[in-house]
Structure 1
Amino acid sequence: MLKVGLTGGIGAGKSEVSRLLAGYGAVLIDADRIAREVVEPGTPGLAAVVEEFGAGVLTADGTLDRPKLGAVVFSDTDRLAALNAIVHPLVGVRSAELERAAGPDSVVVHDVPLLTENGLAPLYDLVVVVDASPETQLDRLVRLRGMTESEARARMAAQATREQRRAVADLIIGNDGPLADLEPRVREVWSELTGRAAAG
């Protein structure tokens, strides 16, 4: 099994690369998706969040009110740390379960947005960084996601720098061009990953 960490700055195109790799046969473990699953209604995770933050972070139907919780934690590092202390271990346990379920010859791709920021590179056999220039990221966030320029710049500034991400990369997928240019590069990377998995 080859454990791959996949990361990239907001708007770099990491989700697209994830989708392509899964299409080629990678076992995809998406940290963001798991983070949502572990706080669904009825889970111990949601109960722990309510115990920590109060019932005010729930919607009328008992699901987590993400915007409301976000407003609390993103303006207060201590509250964010409290939330992470609940969610991160649960994500870790679920990720490990999914990894164990993959076959011994699998290429397991962990899609981890904050891999660089949280110093997680050593957990993987290989780190793949989806890289785009800040200008490209800004353009995509404004044009495709409807953010204002100041919102986009704030989100980008909250993440690791391009240089920090590139420093932890074993393989870099450049994604400043159109989608058509991305697929051949991802295919090359996939063949490199499967080669390494087969070599053990």
Structure 2
Amino acid sequence: IIDADVIAREVVEPGTAGYNKIVAHFGATTPDLLLPKTDDGKGQPLNRPALGRRVFGDTDERKKDRAVLNGIVHPAVRMEMYRQLLKCYLSGCWAVVLDVPLLFESGLDTLCGTVMVVAVGDPAIQMRRLRERDSHLTAEDAENRVMSQGDIREKAKRCEARGDGRGVVVWNDGGREELKSEIERVMSTVMKGSPKWWAWMLLLVPPLAGWAGLWTYYRNLKVNKDWRQAELETKAKL
């Protein structure tokens, strides 16, 4: 599993290029940007809640700040993900999970044979769970964060538009047992579309892996183009 959130934290740790760029841009106008020094001697870590309040929201100023932050963090995250993907391939992994909150927005969906979206149908459940996980968030902070990441139900539709086996949605409105059943259901579909013998073929025949990767990338570009065209046509009818 390659977790984009974990990598995003690693690439902005004190001493990294990402950290220095964030401090240089936001430090003067965000007094509480840095936390006290830690015992590990690495320096002052970023105050992520303070940075979140600075960039999450729907105003033009916050959108501009968010674009700056994304321009610092996303390239570093992307390069580290590529490195880990190569390592997984050389290790003979049957499958690699890219856990990316902004998968479509970052364009990383073009690398994926199958996209899985975990969604909730009720926005109130989404807000409640976010505040339970991050207790420091106010209701406004939580709403701004959810809005900045896009409508999860719209992402579910986009995922399903990829077609059978290439886009699956896990609905997570219920409890853990229901979620487990949903995951088992969709994983059976995923595994049928990518048997282990195919993974071994891709490992043992690198040129085949290259062609398969290029075909997946091209196919996903076309899917995204069709989705954007459908969106434009829908808006034109309004």
Q: Comparing both chains, which one has the higher relative contact order based on Cα–Cα distances under 8 Å and sequence gaps of 6 or more?
A: 1
Q: Which residue of 2 aligns with 1:188?
A: 185
Q: Which residue of 2 aligns with 1:64?
A: 46
Do structure 1's residue 29 and structure 2's residue 2 form an aligned pair? yes
CA distances 1:95-133 after superposition (whole Å, capped 9, x unpaired):
111111113442111111122344543232111011211
- Return the offset for 1:172: 0.9
Q: Which residue of 2 aligns with 1:78?
A: 64
- The within-5 A match list for 1:42-191 is 42-54=15-27, 56=31, 57-61=33-37, 62-74=44-56, 76-102=62-88, 103-133=91-121, 134-141=123-130, 151-169=141-159, 170-191=167-188
CA distance in 2, matches of 1:92, 1:145: 25
What letter corresponds to residue 42 of structure 1 in structure 2? G
TM-score for the superposition, normalised by structure 2: 0.62
Q: 1:79 to 1:142 in 2, by over 3 A?
A: closer
Q: Which residue of 2 aligns with 1:17?
A: none
TM-score for the superposition, normalised by structure 1: 0.72
Partner-residue secondary structure (3-state), 2:150:
coil
Q: 1:67 to 1:174 in 2, by over 3 A?
A: closer
CA distance in 2, matches of 1:50, 1:128: 35
CA distance in 2, matches of 1:80, 1:150: 17
What letter corresponds to residue 70 of structure 1 in structure 2? G
- Greater shift, 155-164 or 93-102, is seen at 155-164
What letter corresponds to residue 84 of structure 2 in structure 1? L
What letter corresponds to residue 78 of structure 2 in structure 1? G
Partner-residue secondary structure (3-state), 1:46:
helix
Question: Which structure has the greater CA radius of gyration?
Answer: 2
CA distance in 2, matches of 1:94, 1:194: 26
8 A Cα contact 2:120 2:171, kept in partner = yes
8 A Cα contact 1:38 1:45, kept in partner = yes
Root-mean-square deviation (CA, aligned residues, Å) is 2.6
Q: Unaligned regions of 5+ residues in structure 1, if any?
A: 1-27
8 A Cα contact 2:18 2:73, kept in partner = yes
What letter corresponds to residue 95 of structure 1 in structure 2? M
- Return the offset for 1:195: 3.4
CA distances 1:24-83 after superposition (whole Å, capped 9, x unpaired):
xxxx11111110011112222212222333375322311112233233333522222121
8 A Cα contact 2:53 2:141, kept in partner = no
More helix by share: 2
CA distances 1:154-200 after superposition (whole Å, capped 9, x unpaired):
44333322442122211011112211111122123233333333245
Q: 1:85 to 1:138 in 2, by over 3 A?
A: closer
What letter corresponds to residue 158 of structure 1 in structure 2? S
8 A Cα contact 1:127 1:168, kept in partner = no
CA distance in 2, matches of 1:157, 1:70: 13
Q: Percent identity?
A: 36
